[in-house]
Structure 1
Amino acid sequence: MTTQPIAAPATPLLPSAVSIVRVSGTDLHAFLEPWISLPEPRQAVLRWLCWGGYRERALVLFFPGPGSYTGEDLVEFQVHGNPLLVHRLLEHLASLGIRLAEPGEFTRRSLLNGKQGLLEAEALRDMIAAATDTQLREAQARSGGVPAWLSAARAAIAPWMARAEAAVDYGEEEGIALDLPEMLGGLEPLRRVFRAEQERSRAAGWLRDGIRIALVGRPNAGKSTLFNRLAGEDRAIVTEIPGTTRDVLEVRCEWAGLPLYLFDTAGLRETEDPVERLGVARVAAVLEKVDLILHLIPAADPGPDPEILERLAPFSGKVLELRTFGDQGSESRGGTEYAEKRTVSALTGDLSVLEESLRERFLGGQAPDACLGALASQRQRELLDELVLQLEILYQLPDNPPPEMPASLLQGLWALLLRLTGEDRAEAALDQVFAGFCLGK
């Protein structure tokens, strides 16, 4: 690990009352005290910063290592919030031998210096990026570090791994044998926990990343009304004139505890209007990238439009049909049992069918709050899937296998646990995690 000091703005480079520039490194006195006198630890002191014709009055704080965020000496300069001033200050710090930090490098140094774990760092990244209340609470629920079930998993695996390794090394000489049925019985509670956490993790992944939903249907199928209801604001124009929506409208929102990316699309029909035709043509690109397509069919229609069904055929696995205008009375609905079960009313806000369908499809029927604290990032979910697979292979071993087989699988489980918690610090994995951070964190 390099000990060269690093610097970065810790606040956005926008005109504001105050901007903070953060510096971290080993023995910052040697780099900064030829220029300014550092204050006593953890005391905010006013200093005049003078360099290259600039004269700025700043609030300076000094946090000596290892009792700082990064575990190194850390200095914060609170200056006036002028982006040009911040740039000039960073240039001056570079002349003192303090380079610009890479994205997430402050937190990376904190991790490498033992100030926090990888799971905490990932939760911090997600908390900073959260755009909805659920995403914020989901990230905060993971900020406590290693979950209790992961610590319990390590405690459960360790003694069995020791027995398996002893059977490999000393089995023939000392008569040490591994009782496979006993081991599998002892690990059965862990097996159930892994499966439960895998389900929670998949659901938490949708909460973390958001669900992309496209609203499609014929003109005047109620798409824009539902779009506005879910968004909580009037973003799309709603009229009785068919073809009002000419382009794809997009909004990011939270509804029923679910982070959503909504796409309102032009009504699917053949039209001579050149502008409307462009809007219809853009729908296909949206359907490719979304996670769910809500095919809206007015309750009075006898069934879906065959032409629209043909357009949606390539995406059948992610299409959910909904009957709209449920407020207009059951006598106007298609008359089928299916229509009754899938009817919503954006006008009255009766969207319970939609909420239930989304929870079932993306959260396994769970409420959003039940998923808080579960492993949520793609890296975490992939490693958890590997853990489940590795443990299942252990249960598929034949009777009386050579001890090398369970020993190898248990060692693999242990290695996956270390990778998950960040104790096995593969550089490629760390690069992936910290690439998503801002410069000053």
Structure 2
Amino acid sequence: MPTTDPICAPATPPIPSAVALVRISGVGLAAVLRPLLSLPEPRVASLRTLRWGGFQEKALVLSFPAPASYTGEDLVELQVHGNPLLVRRLVAHLGTLGIRLAEPGEFTRRALLNGKQGLLEAEALRDLVAAETDTQIRLAQARAGALPSWLQDARQVLAPWVARAEAAVDYGEEEGILLDLLTLNQSLAAVRQRFHVEQSRARAARHLQDGLRLALVGRPNAGKSTLFNALAGEDRAIVTDIPGTTRDVLEVRCEWRGLPLRLYDTAGLRSTEDPVERLGVARVRPVLEGADLVLHLWPTQDQDPDPVLQAALAPFTGKVLEVRTFADLAEVPGVAIAAHRGELDALEVALKERILGGLAPDACLGALATDRQVALLDELARQLDLLAELEPGGPPELPASLLQGAWGLLARLTGEDRAERTLDELFSGFCLGK
């Protein structure tokens, strides 16, 4: 666990700018910083002149004494001119005062350990910093703050049953303490049902948080680049009537109708002797392997799918969505679009059904979204499902074990069980000044 020794780090990028921010946290910062400056009144921005090693810099200083600070320790923020070299020299001088450079995410880690925020809130903060689309920002913001009410309810319902199960195992025979499975499962029915609802929301939210990886494949001139540009909202791929125009994998990140997308436009799949085009075709398979969904674009004027395409897509049938292009030329069943005319409603419905389980992006706000959270939620739901399958009249050890397992998983999910490895993985993704 990190100590309370003073730490510092730039909280702004190391690029030339008007203002740069250096954060300092620790115990007794007034004494530690005395050789450099005298701290102003708490939470009042004050101008100070910093002098060290031949440098003289005016800084706007803010002081937040413990425990009323972000980290729960004494916290000082220095706003100086945004010269990267100047900031490096200042941080180096702070090191001579015994203030070491912070590890990634150490400010937020101290906030967590000092009870200033919870683990779920810290994870939401990390995702907010990394968000690339409006939807991802809103997802992260909706998870910040207090523990979700459904998790609080689950904790309140589980707690007395865990205690009763442990008592039934330890003192059941002597004290006549019984564990009524029927009453237990009736009590947990609403919790179990809510967990299954949250599982669906969490899977959808995870896709939104990560961005849906969509690979566009098809024969040459199937409309891949046209759809790629339509979804991206800009002309990123060259569109011509000449087959084989796209010879490499093009990638773009964008947001389309509330869906964060990572789009991959691939070379048209066909037998070819062109060495450059063959290289492009060879690069398609790794893209298909990493995609969440493969959109097989199949022009409506084609009676049958191309056999070369069928062979290439055979290993990925579970994640292939057939999309008929040029729907303005003929009526066909299934998902039909006309990207050159902006007619993409059928594709939007299909994507939300396949990837989000029919949920709208807004329905995922506040849902758990990280791999860690989803894995723990899945295991929690499994434990409660196993409880519901137990036959009444058996020994209390098995239901007690399942209840204790569920309680432990819940503690790991909410952050009450602060495993060192979990914290290391979480905070390694933060910047130094956070």
Correspondence for 1:431: 424
Q: Take 2:16 and 2:84, find their aligned partners in 1: how far apart are those partners?
A: 6
Partner Cα separation in structure 2 for residue 243 and residue 174 of structure 1: 80
Equivalent position amino acid for 1:187 in 2: L
Aligned to 1:33: 34
Q: Quick check: 1:6–1:100 contact (8 Å CA) kept in 2?
A: yes
After TM superposition, give the deviation of residue 419 of structure 1 in Å: 0.7
CA contact (8 A) 1:327 1:347 kept: no
Correspondence for 1:380 among 351, 364, 373:
373
Mapped to 2, the partners of 1:289 and 1:363 lie a distance apart of 18
Corresponding residue for 1:266? Answer: 267
Matches within 5 A, 1:56-75: 56-75=57-76
Structure 1 residues 101-112: aligned runs within 5 Å: 101-112=102-113
CA distance in 2, matches of 1:275, 1:175: 80
Matched, 1:405 2:405: no
- The Cα shift of 1:365 comes to 0.8
Q: In structure 2, the residue corresponding to 1:388 is in which secondary structure?
A: helix
How far apart, in 1, do the equivalents of 2:175 and 2:57 lie?
75
- Pairs within 5 Å for 1:5-404: 5-330=6-331, 339-404=332-397
**Offset of 1:30 from its aligned partner?**
2.1
User: Do the aligned partners of 1:9 and 1:20 also contact (CA within 8 Å) in 2?
Assistant: yes
Identical columns (%): 69
Provide, for residues 315-370 of structure 1, a one-character-per-residue CA deviation record: whole Å limited to 9, x for no partner. Answer: 2222111110112243xxxxxxxx42221110222212211211111111111111
2:412 counterpart (409, 419, 424): 419
Choose 165-174 or 20-29, whichever is displaced more: 165-174
In structure 1, how many angstroms separate the alpha carbons of the residues matched to 2:408 and 2:298? 51
| Secondary structure of 1:428's aligned partner | helix
The alpha-carbon deviation at position 188 of structure 1 amounts to 0.9
Figure out how many residues of one structure are paired with residues of the other and give that number. Answer: 433
TM-superposed deviation, 1:166 = 2.4
Q: Matched residue of 1:418: which SS?
A: helix
1:66-111, Cα deviation, whole Å (9 max, x unpaired): 0000000011111111111111111111111111111110000000
| Greater mean deviation of Cα atoms: 121-130 or 344-353 | 344-353
Distance 2:119 2:226 in 1: 43
- Alpha-carbon shift at residue 280 of structure 1 (Å): 1.7
- Counterpart CA distance in 2 for 1:313 and 1:404 is 48
- Check whether the contact 1:108–1:434 (CA below 8 A) recurs between aligned residues: yes
Give the TM-score taking structure 2 as reference length. Answer: 0.97
> 1:273 Cα shift?
2.6
Residue type of the partner of 2:339? A
The Cα of 1:163 is off from its aligned counterpart by: 2.0
Which deviations, in whole Å up to 9, do the C-alpha atoms of 1:285-315 show, x marking residues without a partner? 2122111111111110112100111112122
CA distance in 1, matches of 2:177, 2:267: 72
Contact 2:142 2:365 in 1 (8 A): yes
Post-superposition shift, 1:228?
0.5
Retained in 1: the 8 A contact 2:44–2:63?
A: yes
* Alpha-carbon distance between aligned partners in 1 of 2:264 and 2:401, rounded to the nearest angstrom: 49
Q: Could you say which residue in structure 2 is the equivalent of 1:335?
A: none
1:22 Cα shift? 0.4
In the alignment, structure 2 segments of 5+ residues that lack a partner are none
Which amino acid counterpart does residue 99 of structure 2 have in structure 1? I
SS at match of 1:7: strand
Residues of 2 paired with 1:79 and 1:270: CA distance? Answer: 61
Contact 1:68 1:74 in 2 (8 A): yes
SS in 2 for 1:340: coil
Q: Contact (CA 8 Å) 2:215, 2:293: kept in 1 or not?
A: yes
Cα distance in 1 for residues equivalent to 2:92 and 2:393: 68
Identify unmatched segments of 5+ residues in structure 1.
Answer: 331-338
**What is the DSSP-based 3-state SS (H/G/I as helix, E as strand, rest coil) of the residue aligned with 1:253?**
strand
- Higher mean displacement: 339-348 or 127-136: 339-348
Q: What is the root-mean-square deviation in Å for CA atoms of aligned residues?
A: 1.2
Q: Which amino acid aligns with 1:207?
A: L
Q: Within 2, Cα distance between the matches of 1:10 and 1:181?
A: 55
What is the alpha-carbon distance in structure 2 between the residues aligned to residue 100 and residue 17 of structure 1?
23
Structure 2 letter corresponding to 1:407: A
In structure 2, C-alpha distance between the alignment counterparts of 1:265 and 1:408, rounded to whole Å? 51
Separation in structure 1 between the aligned mates of residue 212 and residue 339 of structure 2, nearest angstrom: 19
In structure 2, the partner of 1:336 is none
Q: CA deviation at 1:417?
A: 0.9
Say if 1:65 and 1:72, in contact at 8 Å, map to a contact too: yes
**Cα pair 1:213 1:294 within 8 Å, conserved:** yes
Amino acid at match of 1:401: G
Which amino acid letter does the alignment assign opposite residue 374 of structure 2? R
- Aligned-partner Cα distance in 1 for 2:278–2:40: 67
CA distance in 1, matches of 2:321, 2:176: 61
What is the rounded CA distance, in whole Å, between the counterparts of 2:301 and 2:422 in structure 1? 54
Partner of 1:62: helix, strand, or coil?
Answer: strand
Asked if structure 1 preserves the Cα contact closer than 8 Å seen for 2:50 and 2:56, the reply is yes
SS at match of 1:74: strand
1: CA distance between counterparts of 2:118 and 2:334? 47
Instruction: Give the superposition deviation at 1:399.
Output: 2.3
